[in-house]
């Protein structure tokens, strides 16, 4: 499982000119599910994302987590994160999980976030989405499980 996370002051995702999900202060998670990933990967990813200390404390140091600041998640599925660009000029997506498998783990990740009390918005799985964000910092990190 691979995620690009961005600390945001706001973010939203639109599908067919409608807002599908929107958050204020929080983290935008672009989530890619790899073949062979399971619930353990999703649990580890959720734990890492929600406890990673990337928000500033009173001294301006990155010492607070999403949970500490009461932030929200915007989770967007993105199989292209598993694209392999090492050969040729067209990415290979062989490492990406098939849609049914990826959807299941994506939904599991989202449900886990919601059940843990984190306000969580989403995009629409397999839809063409327009993602807008204000990256705060900027802070952008790549996480793999």
Instruction: Indicate which residues carry an active-site annotation.
Output: 78-80
The CA distance from 54 to 46, in Å, is 15
Three-state secondary-structure class, residue 129 = coil
- 17 three-class SS: coil
Cβ count within 10 A of residue 133: 17
Question: Do 129 and 11 meet the contact criterion of CB atoms below 8 Å apart?
Answer: no
Helical H segments across the chain, by residue range: 39-51, 66-69, 99-115
DSSP 39: H
């Amino acid at each position: 499982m691979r995620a690009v996370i961005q600390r945001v002051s706001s973010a939203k995702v639109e599908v067919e000119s409608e807002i599908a999900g929107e958050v204020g202060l929080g983290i935008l998670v672009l989530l890619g599910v790899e073949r062979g990933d399971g619930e353990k990967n999703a649990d580890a990813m959720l734990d890492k994302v929600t406890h990673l200390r990337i928000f500033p404390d009173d001294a301006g140091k990155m010492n607070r987590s999403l949970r500490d600041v009461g932030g929200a998640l915007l989770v967007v599925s993105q199989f292209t994160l598993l694209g392999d660009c090492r050969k040729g000029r067209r990415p290979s997506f062989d490492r990406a999980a098939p849609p049914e498998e990826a959807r299941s783990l994506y939904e599991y990740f989202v449900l886990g976030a919601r059940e843990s009390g984190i306000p969580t918005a989403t995009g629409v799985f397999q839809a063409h989405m327009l993602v807008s964000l204000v990256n705060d910092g900027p802070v952008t990190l790549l996480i793999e499980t």
